[in-house]
Structure 1
């Protein structure tokens, strides 16, 4: 049994733990392999590389399952619940708690057909609820590459909606394509969340 819920829902999305018991690594491989459609756009600003072979996907799903069970982090497969792409793998969303600091860090990537639909903000609201109401964390943080305008717009929108703030640039915080990069960090506290959460 894990501290994290195995499944969740929000208004339009279903969340299923990334775990060998529930996710087909071949499906993940098809969407995140080195020659997958639009993979260059998807991975331009992220800290992970596309899979070179199916074993990479199998190994990562197994690792995520172990980390989920150990309470180290929660990675979820996102699937729309309605519309022409209902049930498809839209992307992955994660929450990584730092238990000692009572801090959670959000992450997400979406396949390009699911960009511009507001899924990033919807997912953030659901994972903030998980972080504060379920896991009793005090602060949730999120970062983006300074050049990633799509992430900047999405993050600023939901951070403002939930009363959080931009904290600034953290130098050499992430590594992309083997090179250190700055990141822009935002945070939302439990108090800010409570004042601004939807009824």
Structure 2
């Protein structure tokens, strides 16, 4: 069995393992011609894909990380009754630093899914994965200091799950063009999360059959 579940289900979302089979969906929404791509990538540290080969190479890296246990990346698909139900809505993931028992959250969503609370919902699911299944000690998340939308979303779920703001880190993020930016970092510890959620686990893991 893989370290990571193939699918993670919440009330409104399905997080499905990102694979080479998602090539054309990912390229459609992560390429230079994708709708709203400049807004989507304004504060994140990857550039829009110039060619399908760039997308394919990225997916090969994602699959290698999965196989090696170094990270789990999922396609975000809203469930029935939600906007873009069943469609590719973006990606999310949990990067691993096993020697520090630390996980790092990442997320980007297509613009029609912004402002609906999906960030916090999938964070809750990946925190359950990190602490219940993978036995990590801490999960961290960062945002660009100028990204107010991410700040609001992150502060909301960090507070909900008992975490805290660690601080403003200078020159913390390196981008594909070689530039660097500051970041604001937060963390949630396993014991904080367990105290906050109690027995309330609104998440389902589905492993490969």
Tell me which interval the TM-score lies in, with the shorter structure as reference length.
over 0.9
Moved more, 77-86 or 141-150: 77-86
Look up the SS of the partner of 1:188 in the other structure.
strand
The alignment covers a number of residue pairs equal to: 197
Q: TM-score, normalised by structure 1?
A: 0.96
Partners of 1:72 and 1:111 lie apart in 2 by: 25
Look up the SS of the partner of 2:99 in the other structure.
coil
The equivalent of 2:181 in structure 1 is 181
The equivalent of 1:11 in structure 2 is 11
The equivalent of 1:193 in structure 2 is 193
The equivalent of 1:116 in structure 2 is 115
Query: Is the counterpart of residue 162 in structure 1 residue 164 in structure 2?
Result: no
On the 8 A contact 1:96/1:104 being kept in 2, the answer is yes
The equivalent of 1:72 in structure 2 is 70
Cα deviation, residue 178, structure 1: 2.9
Unaligned runs of 5+ in 1: none
If asked which structure has higher relative contact order (CA below 8 Å, sep 6+), I would say 2
Partners of 1:24 and 1:58 lie apart in 2 by: 9
Unaligned runs of 5+ in 2: 201-209
Cα deviation, residue 2, structure 1: 2.3
The alignment yields a C-alpha RMSD, in angstroms, of 1.1
The equivalent of 1:25 in structure 2 is 23
Cα deviation, residue 35, structure 1: 1.5
Q: How does 1:23-172 map to 2 (within 5 A)?
A: 23-83=21-81, 84-172=83-171
Q: TM-score, normalised by structure 2?
A: 0.91
Look up the SS of the partner of 1:44 in the other structure.
coil
Partners of 2:69 and 2:163 lie apart in 1 by: 26
